[in-house]
Amino acid sequence: MLLDVGHLSQTANLLITALGLHPWLTGYFHDKEINELLEVNLPSEQVIFLVGAGHGTGSSYTTEVRELLDGI
């Protein structure tokens, strides 16, 4: 299963980039909230990895943190 998740997330990453968007991938999230949002309530189903896409700077820093770091 984890091997399949890796392959699918890599394919999604390539497709997102080809569309000119910025991908982000994470395994760190609040399980309960994500499962509720996606209506995953069976014990046999769990969210184990998230892949997102959108527009951005490509940095994990907010504008405010970036300004602070640039001033150092």
**CA 40 – CA 12 distance, rounded (Å):** 21
Own/partner long-range contacts of 23-31 (Cβ < 8 Å, ≥24 apart):
23/51, 23/52, 23/53, 24/51, 24/52, 24/53, 25/49, 25/50, 25/51, 25/52, 26/50, 26/52
What is the per-residue pLDDT for 48?
A: 87
Averaged pLDDT score across all residues of the chain: 88
Total number of domains constituting the chain:
1
Name the band, by pLDDT with cuts 50, 70 and 90, for residue 21: very high
**DSSP-H helix ranges across 19-52:** 31-37
**Residue 51 pLDDT grade (very low, low, confident, very high; cuts 50, 70, 90):** very high
Q: What is the span of the domain harbouring residue 33?
A: 2-70
pLDDT at 14: 95
